[in-house]
Chain A
């Protein structure tokens, strides 16, 4: 079953049209989504703060779940998504977007997640202290599926870690547990925890950097 797509409005004067192709025939869900976004849109135009809070209620949880796949830590995922929401608000991006809020938010989270990983991978070289959303480069993967490929590579890298190291790494990085607590729970020394986390991060970083973030130059000299 196919439904005709509605035309996108690019003028910004008219309210954006939200497209939802239902190949599965689930028109109910499609309509509900359109209604939900419609409601958010009218709220945003009347009262932006409240509108953004509606976006939070609807999308924050799932966006953080998605962001964690890239940045690996809850804290950072929440910060990253919160910053995206804030810029959406302060830059009044909602007045200009031509897609659904869902599409915009997911796309932006994936972009920023990628940028973050790129910054992470290059960190030993650049020694910068903070990841800056505004200065992050715009060069992104060309293909939409590469985002999945990226975080799946990370997952794979984590899975190849020795078991104990992986456990410690996840406790530290994903759960955000302090080193002392991990040491106590596993009955090992603080130093061991630190070394294991360090080694895990090195292994993951190497794998990811070599595949994703290194430019390979080939110089041909023709004599």
Chain B
């Protein structure tokens, strides 16, 4: 037994102040079980003599109690199941891509910003995009389409729509479906087709031009499904269930793409709502009598001024525009 392995030397070793030669001596010496025991004795003494990191021992005992009380039969099985959990704070290191590694905020919203891309239009704006799989989408004013940033067309083709959009979806050889999801819980599943989805706060409508789509709707606990043929339109109102209609002139449904407006006995109230939604305006109708006046027909209008102008001419009413406010009023003998 080597007499020169003293507590002091071991303390020096724990401090990191010994030479490699001395470490070798300690290694050799510690091969004897009784010396190893002494090693740990000194180790514990040394650790205790230093500032400790306070741990809540009672809390740990509590957890131990909870563990053995709730799993009395674990024993051998538990030996295989014991895991060290990687805590939430360490989960940031698990992503493969370097980019995602760096952007390691834990909020779901932040993650969503990275994984998804937002296509959006402002008030009065109509814009088109081509997606990674070759599909085309046109967004009407004040609309938003969320598209996966990576893997679109390879893993899935799922997009999320708020507002109004027209889709020309490419057909994929492997039959991969293109799904448009809306905030009503309405999913439009397509194979390759042209269709229009209208999803605003009042209702969601889908009009099919060409091809075939399957509509899936989650109405509370119930799940409804129906298949559409070209020329058909499905409406889901806020209350819930789906309604299928035939739409006589399907090409009129997405007339906004060419800045054309098509009205079919559309009341002034509905037109007011259209102005509010598409152009972020605040519309007032001064007299209730004029609210029910209807407009039918289609005409081109480049912006909301032109539209308001045309409407009021057709209906023979007055209008005022003050910034974002529009006021329709009855045409009296004395114009304001």
Interface residues of A (CB under 8 A from B): 2, 5, 8, 18-21, 23-24, 33, 49, 52-53, 56-57, 60-62, 64-66, 68, 73-76, 78-83, 85-87, 89-92, 99-100, 102-103, 106-107, 116, 123, 127, 129-134, 142-145, 148-149, 152, 155, 172, 176, 178-179, 190-191, 194-195, 198, 201
A102 in contact with B41 given A130-B86, A131-B86, A144-B26 (CB within 8 Å): yes
- Which residue from A60, A127, A172, A201 sits with its C-beta under 8 Å from B60? A60
A132 in contact with B84 given A64-B55, A102-B41 (CB within 8 Å): yes
- Which residue from A19, A74, A75, A90 sits with its C-beta under 8 Å from B37? A19
Give how many B residues have a beta carbon under 8 Å from the other chain's beta carbons. 63
Residue contact B92 to A194, C-beta cutoff 8 Å = yes
Residue contact A62 to B14, C-beta cutoff 8 Å = no
What number of A-B contacts does a CB cutoff of 8 Å give?
A: 176
- Contact residues of B between 47 and 62, Cβ < 8 Å to A: 47-48, 50, 52-55, 57, 60-61
Interface residues of B (CB under 8 A from A): 1, 3, 6-7, 13-14, 16, 23-24, 26-27, 30, 33-41, 43-44, 47-48, 50, 52-55, 57, 60-61, 63-65, 67-68, 74-76, 78-87, 89-90, 92-94, 96, 101-106
Q: In the docked arrangement, what's the CA distance between A5 and B64, Å? A: 36
Dominant SS among interface residues on chain B: helix
Residue contact A194 to B89, C-beta cutoff 8 Å = no
Min CB distance A220 to B, Å, is 28
Residue contact A144 to B36, C-beta cutoff 8 Å = yes
Residue contact B27 to A23, C-beta cutoff 8 Å = no
Q: In the docked arrangement, what's the CA distance between A131 and B80, Å? A: 12
A145 in contact with B81 given A76-B87, A103-B40, A198-B102 (CB within 8 Å): no
Min CB distance B164 to A, Å, is 36
Could you show 20 A-B contacts with beta carbons less than 8 Å apart?
A: A19-B33, A23-B3, A56-B57, A64-B53, A65-B50, A78-B55, A79-B84, A81-B60, A89-B64, A99-B33, A107-B40, A129-B94, A131-B84, A132-B82, A134-B81, A149-B23, A155-B16, A194-B102, A194-B103, A198-B104
Residue contact A129 to B86, C-beta cutoff 8 Å = yes
Residue of A nearest to B91 (CB): A129
Residue contact B60 to A82, C-beta cutoff 8 Å = yes
Chain A residues lying within 8 Å of B67, measured Cβ to Cβ, are: 86
Chain A residues lying within 8 Å of B55, measured Cβ to Cβ, are: 60-61, 64-65, 74, 78
Residue of A nearest to B30 (CB): A144
Min CB distance B45 to A, Å, is 9
Min CB distance A83 to B, Å, is 5
Residue contact B94 to A68, C-beta cutoff 8 Å = no
Residue contact A190 to B26, C-beta cutoff 8 Å = no
Q: In the docked arrangement, what's the CA distance between A57 and B85, Å? A: 24
Q: In the docked arrangement, what's the CA distance between A87 and B35, Å? A: 26
Q: In the docked arrangement, what's the CA distance between A60 and B48, Å? A: 12
- Which residue from B27, B61, B68 sits with its C-beta under 8 Å from A90? B68
Residue contact A62 to B47, C-beta cutoff 8 Å = yes
Min CB distance B289 to A, Å, is 57
Residue of A nearest to B98 (CB): A198
Residue of A nearest to B48 (CB): A62
- Which residue from B7, B37, B50, B57 sits with its C-beta under 8 Å from A99? B37
Residue contact A61 to B57, C-beta cutoff 8 Å = yes
